[in-house]
Amino acid sequence: MMFINLFLLLWTAFVSASSLAYQQTPGALQQVTDFGYNPTNIGFYIYVPNALVSNPAIVVAVHYCTGSAQAYYDNSPYKTLAEQYGFIVIYPESPWSGACWDVSSKATLTHNGGGDSNAIVNMVSWTVSKYRADTSRVFVTGLSSGAMMTNVLSATYPDVFKAATLYAGVPAGCFVSDTNQQAAWNTSCAEGQVVHTPAVWADIVRDMYPGYSGPYPRIQIYHGGADTGLYPQNYYETCKQWSGVWGYDYSKPQSTQVDSPASGWTRTVFGPGVQGIFNPEVNHSISIFGDEDMKWFGFTGVSLW
């Protein structure tokens, strides 16, 4: 009797331990728990493609307000592109009410500051060690609040991310909260009233990781001129910010291309590291140009590396 009970106890312990441990299921969205320090309790969902390559790249795909990992998995092209190019997708999920990201607190706006940005980077570290991922090919992309977070990640962890694309966001350090509230809404930034020079925006970025002197990610910025959620002034401010960081003259772009990447869009090249892509007719319901992302990240097309 005693033996049986002990056996049952051990069996139960074994079953619950193995159900908690992460087991890879390629070709499906899966939650990962216990990936390391997660100060703000963000959800971590991963897509490992069936066509996983060795030493894979990682794309972090960050959802919009009211979104979720599942919604962004369903409504963005990255799982399909992951099968095509063999990279892993990380879909973080906001823990905050309204499912916006914290891009307003001092913690998230600081390298290793213990906020959302820190937790997302810990998901990257877990994935790098679990899958021997290529640390020279870690990318981030996001839409709306996810684009704001993409800018924050690029500013706080320039040592982790090599390139970024952002769809309808605001500059890093624009959605600040005076009262250090997490995931606060900032109306003056949203409505395009926060205007700085490229030099001031660049200092805002550099102050998020004091002492860092290495390169910053290559940044591609999409925005629509009819956006009434995050006003189009945020497009110009974000272009200024990264032109300032890269040392480009914002007032003298290197080139512009009309109808690129699609009819109605104009691409402005500030330098090899910064491009803005703008369409005056588009509102906050902006399309994701997945194939363009793949070019920007160096998976396809003319290699920019």
Ligand X SMILES: *[C@@H]1O[C@H](CO)[C@@H](O)[C@H](O)[C@H]1NC(C)=O
Q: Which stretch binds ligand X (CB under 6 A): 20-28, 120-128, 182-190, 231-239?
A: 182-190
Of 68, 84, 135, 177, the residue at the interface with ligand X (CB under 6 A) is 177
178 binds ligand X (CB under 6 A): yes
Q: Which stretch binds ligand X (CB under 6 A): 84-92, 93-101, 176-184, 261-269?
A: 176-184
> What's the burial of 235, exposed, middle or buried (CB within 10 Å: 0-12/13-18/19+)?
buried
Q: Do residues 175 and 234 lie in contact, with contact meaning Cβ atoms separated by under 8 Å?
A: no
Query: Closest approach of Cβ 189 to ligand X, in Å?
Result: 5
Q: Do residues 208 and 219 lie in contact, with contact meaning Cβ atoms separated by under 8 Å?
A: no
Give the x-and-dash track for 135-164 against ligand X (CB under 6 A).
Answer: ------------------------------
285 binds ligand X (CB under 6 A): yes
Of the pair 118, 241, the CB lying nearest ligand X is at 241
Number of other residues whose CB lies within 10 A of the CB of residue 73: 18
Question: CA-CA distance, 167 to 298, in Å (whole number)?
Answer: 18
189 binds ligand X (CB under 6 A): yes
144 is catalytic: yes
Q: Which residue in the list 94, 144, 145, 243 is annotated as catalytic?
A: 144
| CA nearest to 120, candidates 177, 216, 46 | 46
DSSP for 206-253 reads: HTTSTT--S---EEEEEEETT-SSS-THHHHHHHHHHHHHHT--TTS-
174 binds ligand X (CB under 6 A): yes
Question: CA-CA distance, 109 to 104, in Å (whole number)?
Answer: 7
Query: Closest approach of Cβ 277 to ligand X, in Å?
Result: 17
Specify the pairing of strand 138-143 against strand 163-167: parallel
Of 33, 180, 188, 257, the residue at the interface with ligand X (CB under 6 A) is 188
Question: CA-CA distance, 80 to 76, in Å (whole number)?
Answer: 9
Query: Closest approach of Cβ 80 to ligand X, in Å?
Result: 23
186 binds ligand X (CB under 6 A): yes
Hey, which residues are catalytic here?
Answer: 144
Residues that bind ligand X in the complex, under the rule CB under 6 A: 174, 176-178, 186, 188-189, 194, 283, 285
